[in-house]
A and B are shown apart, each in its own frame.
Chain A
Amino acid sequence: MSDRTARPGASLARTIVYFAHPAHHQSHANVAMAKAAQSVEGITFIDLYAEYPRFNIRVDIEQERLSNHDIVVFQFPMFWYSTPSILKEWQDIVLEHGWAYGQGGTRLSGKRLLAATTAGGSEEAYSDNGYQRYPIRTFLTPLERTAGLCQMAFLAPYVLFGAIRAVDDGRIPAHVTGYVRLLQALRDDQLDLDAAAGMDTLGPDTLPLKPEAVAHG
């Protein structure tokens, strides 16, 4: 713990981004985020729909990828209050019993899972009084529990609310920049995980970076 804070950048956390979007030409924010993420050095980027257009996900390859990384990012648009189907398929078959969970299933233990998602409704809509009736974290509880069962830490999700109108509102560039900073901070272990644990969601303006990282910035 102490040596990581002492020498930031010396031990890079290995980060992998799983991107799932079934129709790139209809994307408002995700394709831009994905492009930016691919340009971040030192992280692994996987476009699941491109890698497995016929859904024939290779469990052994995916498990090896997971073994080689410490931080797993799911980047996806919320659709029907869930992940796109390929990401669910990925969870269904890659997170095997005896490997990811259950007896002897400790291979993901200690790793971290972060959801980077976009939602059509506004932040107000995702509240007890909003028209979606529940906060966004409620809709992400399946992922949160999945992480928990795999003994992974579930970080506060990085969310773009009102994604449908974000282009008109000009909020995309800031969100993309924030995404890149988040990925870099994860990679360099500069995200203040304790602070992040106390937050509901992360946004480009509310990234809890460690003091020395802020100082560097």
Chain B
Amino acid sequence: MADFLLLSFVFLLAGIVAVPIASRLGLGSVLGYLLAGMAISPLLAALNVDVVSIQHFAEFGVVMMLFLVGLELEPRALWDMRARLLGLGGLQVAGSAAVIAAAAMILGQPPTFAIAIGLIFALSSTAIVLQTLNEKGLMRSDGGQASFSVLLAQDIAVIPMLALFPLLAMPELMDVVAPAADAAHGAGAAHGDGHSDEHAGDHGGGMSLVDGLSPLPRVLITLGAIALVIVGGSLLTRPIFRFVAMANLRELFVATALCMVVGIALLMTVVGLSPALGTFLAGVVLANSEYRHELESDIDPFRGLLLGLFFITVGAALNFSLLAENLLVVIGLTIGLLALKGGVLYVLGILFKVEGSSRWLFALGLAQAGEFAFVLLAMATANSVLPASLAGLLVIVVTLSMLATPGLFILYDRVIAPRFADAQTQEADEIDEQGTVIIAGHGRWGGIVNRILRTAGYETVVLDHDSRQLEMLRAFNIRVFFGDATRPDLLHAAGIEQAKMLVVAIDDRNQATELVQYVTKAHPHVYIIARARDRNHVYELYGAGCRDIIRETFDSGVRAGRSALVALGMHPYTAQRRAHDFERRDRYALAQLASVYDPSIPIHENKPYVDLAIKIREEQEAEMRSAPGGFGKGEDRSWSPPTTADVRAAEEGRARASGE
């Protein structure tokens, strides 16, 4: 227990200290975690911690991340990506593998080694790239989208690679390889062993439904599992969440979401598919569900923590002694790897019309080797595809290339992107267009706002925490998401960072005020329109920072007054003008009085408030009495034709002028 606490404490502390510093220095969180890992590696070694097995546990963060990525991607959007996914992604894997294998052969590796190395290094780090792209807000840019297509294609490509590797096994070659570094051998083997143990389960080793089956049932079971995820995801989610909602406990939603992701990952593992791919698929299926944002905000903290842990372990697992012994070789190989992969990516960027700074983002961002390389290297050693000594060296190359990635992103940010400043502004505009309106509360009031915005072509994200209301709305084909809008994490999942506007239409007046207060402080770029229950609530919302406050019953009251005037015989246009005038005066008084409102004192005991109210009323009455204008009396200033005297004066003036 104490060990566990100590370990948790060390990891958490390392992250908490390093990440803010790295972010402040503009290095990004990934590099912060990696450096934190390197910093604590001596301590972990002293404690005899199995870093690699922690790393495998933390890799579940990648699975979660792909689930979240899937949630953001509607099936239609995925279908639209197919050309890039297969073309760009497929060519990247094949092209990089070929080029790297050729380079390996030139460096004197036997063909099977070279092919294995090519395949292993062709893959990039989903964890680092997606995390960094999201952090920098580049996910929606052209380069970000292209990178994502490639990463997804790589995830798919891992499946055939795992099947192919045992075929490359050449045990007789194992002896031929020079004992380049005996010390290295041990370390590499240790690394490799850890991997092979852990990943036996991940990729159809230990617990498997499909091992030992002939190809046909195997394919059928695999397809069945995928169908189960798709059908189950679309049909079961709703009833399950409705059932869970009955308990009305926040943590139950978290548990349900986790259970779902873990379950899908398990199912995929058992049938020999990539768990990341499976959860991604489930995410896509759920992208249209009204529980999407709830799922997103429930899973996201786990994703963040696990990925952080994963990056720390990558840093911590760096074998410094092996690195020191082969410093130049390893650095040379790393630079070579980055150059080859980057080159292939750049050429593909040209072929697939990834333009301007996006092409550089694409080429530099995906140039590293990824976490799958650890898995594949371990498997390669276990299957005698690669000798352990070579694998140990390659593990360091992978780690170094991952360490270099934040540096490449910084290079992109500071040197390359500014040169394409024009292209950048265009990108920014694009993101701007997708700025959405978040509507908190889809009742009678928020619903009207939503309908008006949507018919005008604006994207809205509607949040409501009443699951009955939700069901009713779904019957009318209105897209709403389940969730309590006052929770910052849910607002985050709904995209408050990119949102242009928040419409606060929730029933509870105190919650509405708190929500306004939070968003004005945390997201000052968001324009807030809030519904006030009454006049006092207007002042509370004003105090909370909202400057566009709509009283929920005021307008209908004004309309009723207008209707009454018309029914009593007033001309509709005159009635309209009177109602308008009333509105104007009332708003003026309200705005003036807001400055002296004090929530801690009842209004009638608030001396400045009462004084100002009386003053405004007297002013307005005086204004109404002294309204100017020809025949205009009182406050109607709509029409002031000339008087008889005016006409006579004009005629006389003209007569005098012509008489002279």
Contact = CB atoms under 8 A, between A and B. Distances in A.
Interface of A: 22-26, 49-51, 53-54, 77, 79, 120-122, 125, 129-131, 162, 164-165, 168
Given A50-B571, A53-B572, A125 B638 contact: no
Contacts of B639: 22-23, 26, 79
B574 A24 contact: yes
Contacts of B638: 22-23
B576 interface: yes
A190 B301 CA distance: 86
21 contacts: A22-B639, A23-B574, A23-B638, A23-B639, A24-B574, A26-B632, A26-B639, A50-B571, A53-B572, A53-B575, A53-B576, A79-B641, A120-B646, A120-B647, A121-B650, A131-B650, A131-B653, A131-B654, A164-B644, A164-B646, A168-B644
A19 to B, nearest CB: 12
Nearest to B654: A131
B582 interface: no
Given A53-B576, A131-B650, 10 more contacts: A22-B638, A23-B574, A26-B632, A50-B572, A120-B642, A121-B647, A125-B647, A125-B651, A125-B654, A131-B653
Contact of B571 (A49, A122, A129, A130): A49
Interface string B552-577: 00000000000000000001111110
A77 B643 CA distance: 14
Nearest to A124: B651
B57 interface: no
Interface of B: 571-576, 631-632, 636, 638-639, 641-644, 646-647, 650-651, 653-654, 658
B654 A77 contact: no
Contacts of B572: 49-51, 53
A129 B575 CA distance: 42
A82 to B, nearest CB: 13
Contacts of A129: 658
Contacts of A24: 571, 574
A23 B572 CA distance: 10
Which has the most chain B C-beta neighbours within 10 Å: A23, A54, A122? A23
B576 A26 contact: no
A26 B632 CA distance: 8
Which has the most chain A C-beta neighbours within 10 Å: B576, B631, B647? B647
A76 to B, nearest CB: 12
A80 B572 CA distance: 23
Contacts of B574: 23-25
Nearest to A133: B654
Contacts of A162: 647
Nearest to B640: A26
A122 B643 CA distance: 13
A164 B641 contact: yes
Contacts of A79: 639, 641
A165 B650 CA distance: 14
Nearest to B631: A26
Q: Sort A-B residue pairs by CB-CB distance and give the 5 closest, nearest first.
A: A131-B654, A23-B639, A53-B576, A49-B573, A53-B572
A23 B571 CA distance: 8
Contact of B641 (A25, A26, A122, A125): A26
B163 to A, nearest CB: 66
A193 B571 CA distance: 36
Contacts of A53: 572-573, 575-576
Nearest to A165: B644
Contact of A50 (B573, B642, B644): B573
Contacts of B650: 121, 125, 131
A50 B566 CA distance: 10
Given A125-B651, A131-B651, A164-B647, A120 B573 contact: no
A164 B571 contact: no
Contacts of B643: 164
B647 A54 contact: no
B426 to A, nearest CB: 34
Nearest to A125: B651
Nearest to B650: A131
Contacts of B644: 164-165, 168
Given A125-B654, A131-B654, A165 B631 contact: no
Which has the most chain B C-beta neighbours within 10 Å: A22, A130, A131? A131
Contacts of A22: 573, 638-639
A122 B82 CA distance: 79
Contacts of A49: 571-573
B654 A23 contact: no
Contacts of A130: 654
A77 B636 CA distance: 18
Contacts of A164: 641-644, 646-647
Contacts of A26: 631-632, 639, 641
B386 to A, nearest CB: 75
A120 B630 CA distance: 13
Nearest to A130: B654
Nearest to B657: A131
A89 to B, nearest CB: 13
Nearest to A28: B641
A77 B642 CA distance: 12
Contacts of A25: 571, 574
B560 to A, nearest CB: 15
A53 B646 CA distance: 30
Contacts of B575: 53
Given A50-B571, A50-B572, A23 B642 contact: no
Nearest to A50: B572
Contacts of B653: 131
Contacts of A125: 647, 650-651, 654
Which has the most chain A C-beta neighbours within 10 Å: B571, B574, B631, B632? B571
Contact of A122 (B636, B646, B651): B651
Contacts of A54: 576
Contacts of A50: 571-573
A162 B632 CA distance: 20
A26 B650 CA distance: 21
A138 B574 CA distance: 31
Contacts of A131: 650-651, 653-654
Nearest to A84: B639
A54 B571 CA distance: 12
Contacts of B632: 26
A51 B576 CA distance: 12
A214 to B, nearest CB: 35
A122 B642 CA distance: 13
A79 B572 CA distance: 21
A23 B658 CA distance: 36
A51 B650 CA distance: 36
A164 B640 CA distance: 12
Nearest to A162: B647
Contacts of A121: 647, 650-651
Nearest to B642: A120
